[in-house]
Structure 1
Amino acid sequence: MNAYSFNKCSISLVVLISTGFLLSQCGNSSAEKSHMDETPVEEEIHYETVKVTASRPTSELNLPGELESYYETDLYPRVSSYVKALHVDIGDQVKKGQVLAELEAPELTANLTEAYSKVKAAEAVYGASKGTFLRVLRTSRTLGAISPVDLDVSRTKAVSDSLAVVAANAHYNSVEQLVSYLKITAPFTGVITDRRLSPGAFVGPGGQNGVPMLKIKQLDRLRLRLAVPEAYLGDIRRGNPVQFSVRSFPNQTFTGHINRIANNVRPETRSELIEIDFQNKYGKLKPGMFASARLPVNSSVQGSLYVPKSAVISTLDRTYVLKLIAGKVVKITVQKGDDSGGQTQIFGDLKPGDIVIRSASEDLADGATVKAQMIN
């Protein structure tokens, strides 16, 4: 065998060995892939849970609230008519009694003229019957000149005509009152915050589906409403000072006093509503602003309950946590209090040691069964 033949055989041997190795690897990969495909995948979601804990009592209670105007109202027309003119728009300052809009209703003006004519006609008839009665009365003083029956008839006629005058005046006053409704005036001093209609629009009962013409709010005096948890109601007194702040002025503190207490505990949140009046002289604060109020409380109050901030869900309807009972979700309505160190103070139908979902989700329905994993 020459050198060329030897090298050729060696190359063939190497190719065969390499091919066998690759086939072996492919077989192993296929087997491993088949084995992986047969392994079940864990698709269940485990929710982290924590225990409700009690903390030491606080000497100051932080509560969220919302500023509201002391007076606010929607202005609706009282009679069916058309908008003739609007004298104000959004943002305008108005005084009590100021004419804001004028309406037109030709039929009401015609009715007023007709009612006035009826008053004058009734007064003329009464004047004639009254004069007749007085003449008959004077004549009756002559014995035998007027019979008693004629005297009674003239008296009755005069009384009847006088009552007709009263009725005509009452009708005229009612129509005049309706005509006065064609001018929309400001019920109090404030600011126009909304305008919905324009001149030419039909308004009144059934007009524009009951849309208000204007909205007016008082700005120089505001209300701050707070829901105080039941545990602290013993410390709430009318006249107590309350300090609060708003996001628009984070470095400024405002002070008011408790003016009204509802004297009623809401069963769904176990809290009582209080109101603080604030004299907004310079118009710095606006209705609708969210406020954070601080109320001094007695340190002898029992410890509060705390959960992570992520455990509390706040919606337009309620604020709640997801409590687990025997592996099932139960929505518990709560009232939020102070926030500190990533924990939120809550008040509701809970006690220390209850288990709640750490990162609550609105997708979990009441009564849903979940897998839980306790986090220390």
Structure 2
Amino acid sequence: MNVYNLLRPGLQVALIAGLGFLFSQCGNSSAEKSQMDEVPVEEDIRYETIRVAASRPASELNLPGELESYYETDLYPRVSSYVKALHVDIGDQVKKGQVLAELEAPELTANLTEAYSKVKAAEAVYGASKGTFLRVLRTSRTLGAISPVDLDASRTKAISDSLAIVAANAHYNSVQQLVSYLKITAPFTGVITDRRLSPGAFVGPGGQNGVPMLKIKQLDRLRLRIAVPEAYLGDIRRGNPVQFSVRSFPRQTFTGRINRIANSVRPETRSELVEIDFQNKGGQLKPGMFASVRLPVSTTNEGSLYVPKSAIISTIDRTFVLKVVDGKAVRVTVQKGDESAGQTQVFGNLKPGDLIFKTATDDLADQAKVKTQLVSQ
């Protein structure tokens, strides 16, 4: 008799259901495996790159600059002393020669009195030796009254005593000069921008680790320093007017004149330092302000290189773009020029058609291997 037929009908149904479930699970596992095989593997990172474009240079350069006071200095005491009084504070307008602070050093005052007394003592000694010499000289006119040796000795004594007066006066003047240092005066007309010490503080060589007492800056005349790219140095002339603006007064345009040219191109940036003088009447502008300078230049037929602003990275050390050479990202130092419509003019070891990163990054090391994808600007 067949075993299957001997099973009860309920057991037959359970057996068939179990076999059906087993086959269905095997089918599901095969389907899931097939779906996993169809999931695409994540591709390698590809950096967007562009070609360096060439176009005609602008007739006006927009260059960044910084305003500086024409004169500025830190005021230090020249002698060891104590601060007796301060007559100025931060923001005070001062004139040339004005007393800003007074110091006290009792030992210097005592030295001055001692030096003065030595001058008077030397004068008294010289007066006596000079009188003796004159009497000996008159007596020597009588034949045989005074020996030649005595006459020469009195003359030598008078000369020696006169030279002692000269030495005493020199010492007195030097001490007097030191005493004059106890008054700190303004070297030029300007504004006090910082005060570090207070009355009672010890100052001088080694005092307070060389901290300046006051800082003074000239405000009625400012310097504006800019770095002009080498390609435009032929358009720079002393006396040329230059317009600039600052963020504090966005609706105003200021005008200065080129006054100094460094006459030396910096090899790391291929630019030359140019100083513009500005008569800051009323003190509207302040030293330390950043300015945007519009420098007129002549348009030539030569092409200039332009890249997106995003392709340039500026660090403390240098400004550079990432150039692709043989599948590697190479940092190329550049100097920025004109900026317009999101494009920046650059000068450096680049030529039209070079492949560079559209958006540069400082995370990649120099000479790092990369995969790129050429896109349009």
Normalising by the residue count of structure 2, what TM-score does the alignment of the two structures yield?
0.89
Are the aligned partners of 2:312 and 2:321 in contact in 1 as well (CA < 8 Å)? yes
1:248/1:180 Cα in 2 relative to 1: closer, same or farther (>3 Å)?
same
- The residue that corresponds to 1:369 in the other structure is 369
Pair 1:326–1:79, CA change in 2 (3 A): farther
Q: What is the CA distance between 1:204 and its match in structure 2?
A: 1.9
Correspondence for 1:257: 257
CA deviation profile, 1:318-360 (whole Å, cap 9, x unmatched): 3222223323333333221221121111122322122222222
The answer for the alignment partner of 1:296 in structure 2 is: 296
Q: Which runs of 5+ in 1 are unaligned?
A: none
Greater alpha carbon shift after TM alignment, 160-169 vs 17-26: 17-26
SS in 1 for 2:143: coil
Residues 231, 301 of structure 1: 8 Å contact kept: no
- Structure 1 residue matching 2:282: 3-state secondary structure: coil
Question: How many angstroms does 1:169 deviate by?
Answer: 1.0
User: Residue 287 of structure 1: CA displacement?
Assistant: 0.8
CA distance in 1: counterparts of 2:113 and 2:229, whole angstroms: 62
Letter matched to residue 203 of structure 1: V
Say if 1:289 and 1:7 are closer, same or farther in 2 by CA, change over 3 A: farther
Distance in 1 (CA, whole Å) between partners of 2:12 and 2:185 is 113
Give CA deviations for 1:69-99 in whole Å, capped at 9, x if unaligned.
1111111111222222222111111111111
Residue identity over aligned pairs, in percent, reads: 78
Corresponding residue for residue 169 of structure 1: 169
- Determine if contact 1:192/1:216 at 8 Å carries over to the other structure: yes
Is 2:48 aligned against 1:58?
no
- Answer whether contact 1:119 1:165 (CA < 8 A) is retained: yes
Report how far residue 13 of structure 1 moved: 7.4
Residue equivalent to 2:194: 194
Q: Is the 8 A contact 1:232 1:301 kept in 2?
A: no
1:222 to 1:140, Cα distance in 2 relative to 1, 3 A: same
Compared CA separation, residues 143 and 297, structure 1 to 2 (3 A): same
1:311 to 1:140, Cα distance in 2 relative to 1, 3 A: same
Corresponding residue for 2:284?
Answer: 284
Superposed CA offset, 1:27-61 (max 9, x none): 7547866x699x8655x543322222111222212
- Give the letter for the 1:253 counterpart: T
Pair 1:234-2:227 in alignment? no
Q: Which amino acid aligns with 2:343?
A: Q
- Would the aligned equivalents of 2:56 and 2:299 in 1 still touch at CA under 8 Å? no
Partner of 1:102: 102
The total of aligned residue pairs comes to: 369
- 1:1-376 matches, within 5 Å, as 21=24, 24-25=27-28, 28-29=31-32, 42=43, 44-300=44-300, 302-376=302-376
Secondary structure at the residue paired with 2:265?
strand
Does the aligned pair in 1 maintain the 2:56–2:301 contact within 8 Å? no
1 CA distance for matches of 2:136 and 2:168? 26
1:139 to 1:328, Cα distance in 2 relative to 1, 3 A: farther
The question of whether the paired residues in 1 share the 8 Å contact of 2:58 and 2:338 is answered with no
State the match for 2:5 in structure 1.
none
Distance 2:246 2:260 in 1: 21
Kindly tell me: are residues 234 and 14 of structure 1, through their superposed partners in 2, closer, same or farther at Cα, counting changes over 3 Å?
same
Structure 1 distance, partners of 2:198, 2:312, is 45
**Which residue of structure 1 aligns with residue 3 of structure 2?**
none
The farther-off stretch of 193-202 and 276-285 is 193-202
Q: 1:314 to 1:108 in 2, by over 3 A?
A: same
Q: Which amino acid aligns with 1:357?
A: F
Equivalents in 1 of 2:297, 2:61: separation in Å?
7
1:294 deviation in Å? Answer: 1.2
The change in CA–CA distance for 1:15 and 1:233 in structure 2 (over 3 A counts) is same
TM-aligned CA deviation for residue 18 of structure 1: 6.5
Q: Are the counterparts in 1 of residues 63 and 337 from structure 2 also a CA contact under 8 Å?
A: yes
TM-score (normalised: structure 1): 0.89
Cα distance change of structure 1 residues 208 and 373 upon mapping to structure 2, 3 Å threshold: farther
CA–CA distance in structure 2, aligned partners of residues 81 and 274 of structure 1: 42
Shift of 1:277: 0.8
Compared CA separation, residues 181 and 371, structure 1 to 2 (3 A):
farther
User: Residues 201 and 234 of structure 1: is their aligned pair in 2 closer, same or farther, counting only changes over 3 Å?
Assistant: same
Q: Deviations over 1:154-200 (max 9, x none)?
A: 11111111111111111111111111111111111111111222222
Deviations 1:125-158 (A, max 9, x none): 1121111111211211221111111111111111
CA contact (8 A) 1:312 1:320 kept: yes
Q: Is the 8 A contact 2:306 2:343 kept in 1?
A: yes
RMSD (Å), alpha carbons = 2.7
- Secondary structure of 1:136 counterpart: helix
